[in-house]
Amino acid sequence: MTKPLQPDSLPVRTGGRRRLPSQSVTMIDVARIAGVSAQTVSRVLNSPETVSPQRRERVLAAIRDTNYVHNAVASNLASSRSKTIAAIIPLISNSIFADTVQGLTQELLSAGYQVIIGITEYDSAKEEDIVRSILGRRPHGIFMIGTHHTGKTRELLESAGVPVVESWGWVANPIDCLVGFSNRQALIDLLAHLAQSGYRNPVFCGVVTEGDNRAEERLKGFNYGLRKFFGHRGKRQVLLHEPVYTMAMGRTFLHKALEQYPDADVLVCTSDVFAAGALLEAQRQGLRIPQDIAITGFGGYEFASETNPSLTTVSIPAAEIGAAAARLIIHGPADGRGRRQKVGVQLTLGGST
C-alpha cells in the first residue's frame, strides 16, 4: 500500500529552484547542484580552509538552496572526532566567565567549530561526571576554567587524546595546555600598592568554596602581602562559603568587616561584584569613599569604571583568555609561545582607593 504524501514532505520551490526536504537531500545532491565532487562538499563542511573561496561559495549556496543538513554524527563515527569543543566552567551567571566563553566561541566559530558548555557549580565531583559524559561525545578539544581537579578527572583528560586547555590559574604541571595567570601574585601586587599608598589595615573579603582554588590562591597572596607589607601576623579576613556572587554579598562583607575589624581602612574584595555592593552600602551608611573606608575589587568588570567613585580593581583580560585557548585547541602551540601562556593582569586605579 502506498502511503500518500503529506503536504510538509512535498518539495518546495524557492527562488525558481526546487528545494528538497532536508532529510532527503544527500551530499551527492549538493555536489551535483554545485558542480563539484562529493569529496569537495565534505571538505567544505569539515576543512573549509582547504577549498578555494569560489568553489566553497558554490557549495555553500547549494547547501542553502537544498536545506541540506550535514550528518555530523556519521562524520564523527567515521573520523572518531567531532568539530565540537566542550567548555567546562564553574558558573554561567558570572559575567567575567561569560566574557571568556565569548572570546573562546568567537574564535572557534570562525574556524567551523561548535561549542557545548558544562557547568560545574564549583563541584569537583560534578566536574568529573561532566568530563566523563563529554568524552563520550568525542569532542575535538576541551576548555576548562580551573586548574585543580580530582585524580580521576585528570586521569580521564590525560588519556583522552584530545587537546585540553585549562585557564584562569597558573600551575607548573597542566594536563596539556594552560592560559592563565597567578591569582596569588595578583593579590601580592595589589597589597604592595595599597601599602605604598598609605593604607595600614586591609581586610580580605571573599567567597572561598571547596572547588574554587582561585579564591584560595588569592587568599594566600593576601596573607603573604599582609605579613610582608603591613607587618600583620594574625588573620584579617571575612570568608563566606556559599558560591553566591551578588552585590548583596558585598553588603554583608562590609558589615562583617567593620564589625570584626573596626580599624579597617581598606576592603580587599575578591570580585568587583562584591566591591560594588560594599561601596553602595557604605554610601548608604554615610561613609565616605575612600576617606572613611577604601574598597578594591577583582576582575575588571565593565561596571567597575561606572560606579561613583570608580573601583580600583585587578583587571583580567577575560576574553583574551578564551581566544588564546581556542587558538591552542585549533593549532596547538604553533606560535612559539609554548603550552603555558601567561596573560597580563593589571592594576586599574579608581576613586575607591
CB-facing half-sphere around the CA of 201: CA atoms within 13 A: 10
CATH (domain of 37): 1.10.260.40
Is the same domain home to 62 and 93? no
* Residue linked to cell 563529554: 134
CA dihedral sign, ordered 175, 178, 180, 182: positive
Supply φ then ψ for residue 206, to 5 degrees: -160, 160
Does 149 share its domain with 221? Answer: no
Rounded CA separation 6/32 (Å): 27
> Has residue 214 been placed in a domain?
yes
DSSP at 278: H
In a domain, 75, yes or no: no
- Residues 262 and 197 reside in one and the same domain: yes
Write down how long the chain is.
353
Residue 152 is part of a domain; what is its CATH number? 3.40.50.2300
What are the E-state strand segments in 52-109?
A: 84-89
DSSP 3-state of 45: helix
Q: Mean pLDDT score of the chain, rounded to an integer? A: 89
> 343: which DSSP letter?
P
pLDDT exceeds 90 at position 207: yes
| DSSP line for 216-257 | HHHHHHHHHHHHHHH---S--EEEE-S----HHHHHHHHHHH
Regarding whether 292 and 211 lie in a shared domain, the answer is yes
The CA distance from 204 to 280, in Å, is 18
| Domain boundaries, position 195 | 183-315
| Domain-embedded: residue 86 | yes
pTM: 0.79
- According to DSSP, the residues that pair with 346 across neighbouring strands are 315
38-97 per-position pLDDT tens digit: 899 888 887 788 899 999 999 999 988 887 876 655 555 555 556 899 999 998 887 789
Q: Name the domain boundary from 70, 94, 117.
A: 70
Can you give the pLDDT at residue 153? 95
Q: Quick one: pLDDT at residue 73?
A: 55
Residues 90 and 143 in one domain: yes
